[in-house]
Amino acid sequence: ELKVEQNPLFLSMQEGKNYTIYCNYSTTSDRLYWYRQDPGKSLESLFVLLSNGAVKQEGRLMASLDTKARLSTLHITAAVHDLSATYFCAVVLPGGYNKLIFGAGTRLAVHP
């Protein structure tokens, strides 16, 4: 059974600081996604990571994947208030059906 664990589950950050969210998963997978969810809203796709060593960046967010360690990180650089949201990682279950297993989410609050 594939399990996906995120930590921390809640993160309070000061504006301008850097931090990293971690996503560990329990079995082999060939794809990992990061999504953002604003309160009361739907999920927005941020990144898809396909291979070991993959790194993608968009603005102040950078995601990486280490398939050997079964670990993905989402690094936040110089946080701003607009990044306040809940971030989910989701891992594709092996088998070819594109079934996603989600982590519990990291609720990020950026304050002055």
Residue numbers at the binding site for other proteins (CB under 8 A): 4, 9, 31, 33, 35, 41-45, 48, 50, 88, 90, 97-100, 102-105
Q: How far is the CB of 16 from other proteins (least distance, A)?
A: 28
Check: CB of residue 92 under 8 Å from CB of residue 27: no
Q: How far is the CB of 26 from other proteins (least distance, A)?
A: 14
User: Which is nearer to other proteins, 6 or 110 (by Cβ)?
Assistant: 6
User: Which is nearer to other proteins, 71 or 93 (by Cβ)?
Assistant: 93
Angle at 45 between CA 107 and CA 42, to 5 degrees: 65
Token reading at 99? 């079934």
Q: How far is the CB of 44 from other proteins (least distance, A)?
A: 8
User: Which is nearer to other proteins, 56 or 77 (by Cβ)?
Assistant: 56
Pairwise CA distance, residues 28 & 110, whole Å: 33
User: Which is nearer to other proteins, 33 or 65 (by Cβ)?
Assistant: 33
Amino acid (one-letter) located at 101: I
Q: How far is the CB of 68 from other proteins (least distance, A)?
A: 22
